[in-house]
Structure 1
């Protein structure tokens, strides 16, 4: 808690929560939440976990060039990672699942982190796709929608970042030898000699983790799988919406999904407090949903997204015999032939 990242995230979360709730009658927000039909959360949670299973399949697919691991084995590790993202700052769950995978299957952490970075880049591209697919609708909402009015500019910069990262990964995967030479030259120029060999070793394993992108067919498979994952998650938004007295179309919820998940890339307190809620409430308000109902829905949706996967991840974490606060072994084993 002494790290500056934690405090920065906490401050950002407080600011976003203030933006989310200012001007609202909190007693009406609470009343909306009390009268919601929570039976609709059950199909929403089921659909969400179908998406988590597809996430586990996608990670299995990305790891195949390194080591074939079944989706059934990957699913608990994925839930542990998402639990870590939800309770630790700075998306530490991504490193956590790479560590658990190394302990289980001997996959080098740097190689599995490469596949996780690929996942995140494809997720970002799909989220931007959800936003760009709805740009005409977004332009209509921009006239008097506060936070939402800046989404078009943010989307353009986000597209530059995520698509730029994707191009870099694709080029590194397509030309691994040339990429390694370029990286080696950079390290020779800028890194002290005593660190050079170790960092180069980690970099080579990282490049190995990009192998799944070496053919256009494989990259397209990862992309379409990512689309399915986020459509499942949007399905959860749709089911939870039926617990509240408002209706928007599925494309509006796709837009909301894209915006809130792009916003959660900002630093925040653990669990994306504020950075998830403020844009979600703002978007629904721009669609004409009363602010108190939009707030009640967004807060319940946030809890419904956070709690089940965190609880299941904590269960698998405890079943692994892992201890909270114990420093993990980060040494890199070599994969057996």
Structure 2
């Protein structure tokens, strides 16, 4: 996947922002403090967190396979979708959000499928993940309602936000209508151009992938795996919390809140949630009585263990991918 100059500037800008946030957070944290916590930590629990995260990636790859095969007379090996997924995750550490397209390109080369259709399944995946994130936030609100309301009031004035939305609502609706009319006339006037035909073909593949959910052979397996992915996210956080003395006594519901904040931090358009994940996790842990230093060290251990897992597994997946494509190329001669 090649980037133009503008995209490279965006990548460098997001990386600079991520590094600046990370530096700002950890400039007062001494490396000796981190090493002291690691010396006291239980590496058995940290290893368990890494292993369960790998299980989560495998389940995600299997769920993706269910979507890809829905309504189609094809069979995709879970290993192939796992390889594409991990290469995509590795790409996200370099270029934010590019991994979603990258894993589609990888799978299209190993399975000879249309990128547009594969991308449709990825968009559907992300939509469902957002749905489960909202459900998790609602559960956290029920269990930790007081803390949740306090955080919202600290971060943003709800009344002020509502007034701003209502004030800009007519402008937003009008802008969407104008944009819709403009797009309609452009497509109507140039509907026979080759470029628009390519766009239509891509969008058709996109919609085909998106509606594949209705055709999944086992709806129970799909939704159960979707729930399992988020349960595993929670277990990853829980195991690391149990590994560190300062967080071992946190309640199960408070760790659910930590997971929610960490998930929100990962959504930010920076490489691998660097900085934003750490800031939000440390912030919520201070709400539960941990020191600023303890919260930041916990965040860097959780995030660092997962980043190392993605790097190692992603690089191995890249090697396997090149081997698969080389074998396919040799068969064409």
Q: TM-score, normalised by structure 1?
A: 0.76
Aligned to 2:175: none
Q: Distance in 2 between matches of 1:18 and 1:136?
A: 35
Query: Does the C-alpha gap of structure 1 residues 215 and 97 become closer, same or farther in structure 2, counting only changes over 3 Å?
Result: closer
The alpha carbon displacement at 1:191 in A equals 6.0
Query: Does the C-alpha gap of structure 1 residues 126 and 28 become closer, same or farther in structure 2, counting only changes over 3 Å?
Result: same
Query: Does the C-alpha gap of structure 1 residues 187 and 201 become closer, same or farther in structure 2, counting only changes over 3 Å?
Result: farther
**Structure 1: where are the runs of 5+ without partners?**
158-181, 323-337
Query: Does the C-alpha gap of structure 1 residues 17 and 151 become closer, same or farther in structure 2, counting only changes over 3 Å?
Result: farther
Query: Does the C-alpha gap of structure 1 residues 220 and 149 become closer, same or farther in structure 2, counting only changes over 3 Å?
Result: farther
The alpha carbon displacement at 1:90 in A equals 2.1
What's the C-alpha RMSD, in Å, of the aligned pairs? 3.4
Structure with bigger RCO (C-alpha 8 Å, 6+ apart): 1
Structure 2 counterpart SS, 1:242: helix
Q: Distance in 1 between matches of 2:308 and 2:259?
A: 18
Aligned to 1:231: 231
Q: Distance in 1 between matches of 2:48 and 2:253?
A: 19
Aligned to 1:196: 196
> Are 1:114 and 1:207, in contact at CA under 8 Å, matched by a contact in 2?
yes
Q: TM-score, normalised by structure 2?
A: 0.76
Q: Distance in 1 between matches of 2:220 and 2:131?
A: 12
Q: Distance in 2 between matches of 1:240 and 1:10?
A: 26
Aligned residues: 294
Aligned to 2:126: 120
> Which range moved further: 297-306 or 259-268?
259-268
* Structure 1 residues 134-173: aligned runs within 5 Å: 134-141=140-147, 149-150=154-155
Aligned to 2:212: 212
Q: Distance in 1 between matches of 2:239 and 2:185?
A: 50
Q: Distance in 2 between matches of 1:152 and 1:302?
A: 30
Query: Does the C-alpha gap of structure 1 residues 187 and 120 become closer, same or farther in structure 2, counting only changes over 3 Å?
Result: farther
* Structure 1 residues 289-328: aligned runs within 5 Å: 289-321=290-322
Asked which structure has the greater CA Rg, the reply is 2
Aligned to 2:268: 266
- Of residues 52, 74, 78 in structure 1, which corresponds to 2:81? 74
> Which range moved further: 229-238 or 15-24?
15-24
The alpha carbon displacement at 1:319 in A equals 2.6
